[in-house]
Amino acid sequence: MKKVLIVSTSPRAHSNSEALANAFAEGARAAGHEAEVISLRGRTVNFCRGCFVCQEKLRCVIRDDADEICQKALQADVLVFATPIYYYEMSGQLKTLLDRLNPLFPSDYAFRDVYLLTAAAEDEEHVPQRAVSGLEGWVECFERARLAGTVFMGGVTAAGENPEHPALVQAYRMGHEI
């Protein structure tokens, strides 16, 4: 059994990227894994101060919700990030969280596989590429980790507008196959 931490970064309730997160979690649970979905909606995640105290203390000096998420990420075998695509890039909420996960860098983190789930109004194949590239840069800092997979749900705008979207099935299967 693996511990799977899924972070949904959309500010909208019942968003399409959150639907992907829930589908991935459902698949992971069906396969016998422990899956927790955390939404950043309503949480406080402040910007990194760049002080690098976390590199010595293995914990951020800022006490907000990012600290709790970082501690959970430290213990997770699998990390999954779900984000809407804004201006062909990951959400600012996800980028801010990734910066705040800096205490993981020098730690004995458990995760090996990282996944990215994205949703956007545009449906062209290239739409999530900058978000994927941004997460790849973060993952490359963790020599024992890899970007294990991505799912893109294109052509959706309103929250939950397409409950039959094929990307939801893909996210479920990906979660089931970890």
Look at residue 160 in the predicted model and tell me its pLDDT. Answer: 82
* Total domains, the chain: 1
Containing domain of residue 77, as a range? 3-176
Q: How confident is the model at residue 58 (pLDDT cuts 50, 70, 90)?
A: very high
Distances (CA, A) of 177 to 2, 4, 10, 83, 113: 11, 12, 25, 21, 12
Has residue 78 got a pLDDT over 90?
yes
Look at residue 37 in the predicted model and tell me its pLDDT. Answer: 98
Q: pLDDT of 139-158, one tens digit each? A: 999 999 999 999 999 999 99
Q: pLDDT of 15-40, one tens digit each? A: 999 999 999 999 999 999 999 999 99
DSSP secondary structure string, 99-138? HHTGGGTTS-----EEEEEEEES---TTTTHHHHHHHHHH
The enclosing domain of 48 has a CATH number of 3.40.50.360
Has residue 110 got a pLDDT over 90?
yes
CA gap 60, 49 in Å, rounded: 10
Has residue 162 got a pLDDT over 90?
no
Has residue 161 got a pLDDT over 90?
no
DSSP state of 82: E
